[in-house]
Structure 1
Amino acid sequence: MLIWAYTAILAWSVATAPAPVMPPPEPMPSPEQVMAVPPALRAQLQRQVIGDGGPGRQRLQRLVAFLFDPSGLGMTYATDATLTVEQAYRLRKANCLTFTLLTVALAREAGLDVHAQEIDDVVAWRVEDDVVYRFNHVNAQVVIGRMRYTVDVARDEVLARHPPEPISDRRLLALYYNNRAAELLADNHPAAAAPYMAMTLQLAPRYASGWANAGVLNLRQGDRRGAERHYLEALALDPTHAGALFNLVTLYRNEGDEADRARFQNRLEKVQKKDPYFQFLLAMDDEKQGDYAGAVQHYRRAIRLYHDDPRFYLGLARAYRQLGEEHHARRALHYADALSRDAEAAEQARGAPLRN
């Protein structure tokens, strides 16, 4: 099953038609309420995880089992389940962001040293109602002595160039509010999304994707100047932010502002040419269209930009085989296999991953 974190959603264009009207959302929780552990959950955690004591690794193993086993919480995955800890406990479902919130909150209750981590260049996309969503990924890391253990329900599905970076609780909460804003906007509740977006920016004022997403919300509310202002704020924080650049290009094109459109289009193209994962996506699109020679060119360009991802070589091997170039295909597969072994060895050296 393809499992992607519903975090740091990056909207690259704006829906032109309203989505179906959904039931009114619940009131926005405070930051303290998002990670609060309800008494019933704390009592169950005490019985099944904390009560038996033991060293940290044993408690961590019991916690992971508690999260997923039917005898514990029996959590199930749901893409749109951006929930508080209390809601996740009540509904027994979560996406990757909610799993991380839950893991961090419960690990601390169990006396473990834990923090969230973020990967901000995951290759995961969804297109819905003319809106392109790009996903980031979060997981939890538990530190026990010199060992670091990753609790990640989507570890094998994440395609990213850089290792995860530790983030504060404040940043993790900002991602929660950002996600909820995006979900409410997708459900045609822009007014309800607005306070979530405001809280995102309050908690993480230097979060470029938050400002870009605020611009998308502005546009859905008919505030074109506000959208422009927020896209430009995102670019002030991150001049290479592809989402803000894309949205500005679209905004200026719709307004007939050819000079500004061309200026930001040029910047966007420069960013895309340097992005190995954009080249990877172009290569996959070439494959879908049956243009295997084009796929080879884009996979090779992705490899020139970043040569440590085995999946670039796997794609290259597929394309070569479609072209009947078996020697080149076998060579690409050899590199993919070597990189996969190296990545596995490096992960073992960092500390064993724990997941369901």
Structure 2
Amino acid sequence: MKRIVCPLLMLCLLLGLARTSLAASPPSADEILRLPPEMVERLQTEIAGVALSPERRVDLLVEFISEQGGFGFQYQASPTFSVRETVFQARGNCLSFTLLFISAARALGIEAHAREVRVPLAWRQDEDLIFDVGHVNVGVETPGSRKTVDFDPDFLRSQRLASPYRGRRVSDERMLAHFYNNRAAELLGEARIELAAEWVAQAIALDPGFAPAYNTAGVIERRLGRPERARAQFQRALELAEDPAPTLFNLVLLERSQGRPRAAEDHARHLTGLRPSDPWFQWALGRFYEDLSELDRARRFHLRAIELNDDEPRFHRSLARVLYELGQEAEAARALARAAGLDASSEASRQQASLDKHKGPD
């Protein structure tokens, strides 16, 4: 499988928190994917008119959807735009660019679909509510090959994300459910809670098996002061989720806020037993308990992450922060020094990768 990396895009935040105004009501699926006539004309003239083979058309389309390309698009983490909005704003996040690329490819007669990609557990936190963070990219099939188009600026990371085993093909319904769910989370970031509920309802209606939408619905219900409904939505998310961790984080927070320490501890026990050999998950647990001011527990998880992977500077920085709060300043300084050394080594590797990527033929 060939891997194509579009250089302008940053990390994809499927549940980034918006700080800009969003449309008032959910558009139809057709509206989300519709290309503006001006772009259709350019695609036909500047790509279809000069390239007959599907493979060459894909390469030209990648060039067009880049900062240096014909459309000059730029990355912006949020809000998540429809295809038309992405074109006219000339910016978007990775889901926005995935939608745009798929619509443009199909207009050129190329089969393209979205891929959900497994990434280390991460989240975005707004006050005391947890949102999933994930990644999507594009699968392209032509008569002669299969390709993956990934929108990530880190060359080494994008190579990993484009690997076949890291992702799976998903339906248009699932892809669009991601879109509606993103917008719901972004509206929550604007405190437009009732409107967010409309958007997440659309995600669930389109794909009733999409667990992250129920997680978002639970967050909305909690914001509306309806803990029983929130609990029911979180439980439904758990029934559907391949990875229950994001919902378990929210359930721990919900039960603690409702004065139910036993239920909270049950969920915490489930959570902490999920992936004991995954350093990124251990780090996520450490940050979670750090936010809850349970510093001794946070320290244990950060130390476990480092035991599993001593070469990640973020693990050492997190440990240093917790150690400092615990008054262990000498140990904190050593952890910071280790992080700084790893940062320097990582930057050198990134620079070398960039040189290798742009190096011309010998």
Fold shared per TM-score above 0.5: yes
Counterpart of 2:246 in structure 1: which amino acid?
G
* Partner Cα separation in structure 2 for residue 283 and residue 23 of structure 1: 34
CA spacing shift, 1:251–1:120, aligned 2, 3 Å? same
In structure 1, the partner of 2:219 is: 216
Does residue 273 of structure 1 match 2:276?
Answer: yes
* One-letter amino acid of the counterpart of residue 254, structure 1: S
Could you tell me which residue of structure 2 aligns to residue 307 of structure 1?
none
Matches within 5 A, 1:7-86: 7=14, 9=15, 25-68=23-66, 72-86=70-84
Cα gap change, 1:253 to 1:76, in 2 (>3 Å): same
- The root-mean-square deviation of aligned C-alpha atoms, in Å, is 4.0
Q: 2:92 aligns with which of 94, 117, 125?
A: 94
**Post-superposition offset of 1:169:** 0.9
Looking at structure 2, the residues matched to 172 and 259 of structure 1 have their Cα atoms a distance apart, in angstroms, of: 37
Distance 1:253 1:172 in 2: 34
Structure 2 match to 1:153 = 151
Counterparts of 2:27 and 2:276, CA distance in 1: 41
Report the counterpart of residue 188 of structure 2 in structure 1: 185
Indicate the percent of aligned positions where both proteins have the same amino acid.
Answer: 29
CA deviation map 1:41-71 (0-9, x unaligned)? 1011111111113212211111111212566
Q: Equivalent of 2:116, from 115, 118, 142?
A: 118
Contact 2:25 / 2:199 at 8 angstroms: preserved in 1? no
1:122–1:135 Cα contact (<8 Å) kept: no
Looking at structure 2, the residues matched to 61 and 24 of structure 1 have their Cα atoms a distance apart, in angstroms, of: 32
* CA shift for structure 1 position 293: 11
Higher relative contact order (CA 8 A, sep 6+): 1
Give the C-alpha shift of residue 146 in structure 1: 4.8
TM-score, length-normalised on structure 1? 0.74
Residue 196 of structure 1: aligned partner: 199
2:180 maps to 1:173: no
Mark the runs of 5 or more structure 2 residues left unpaired by the alignment.
1-7, 289-294, 318-333, 354-362
TM-score, structure 2 normalization: 0.73
The aligned length equals 313
Question: Shift in Å at residue 127 of structure 1?
Answer: 3.5
Question: Paired residue for 1:4?
Answer: 11
Cα distance, 1:91 vs. partner?
0.8
Structure 1 stretches (4+) deviating beyond 4 angstroms?
157-162, 280-285, 291-297, 312-319
Counterpart AA for 2:12: A
Aligned-residue offset at 1:115: 1.2
Cα distance, 1:134 vs structure 2:
3.5
| Structure 1, unpaired ranges of 5+ | 12-18, 304-311, 342-356
Query: Which of 253, 274, 299 is matched with 2:306 structurally?
Result: 299
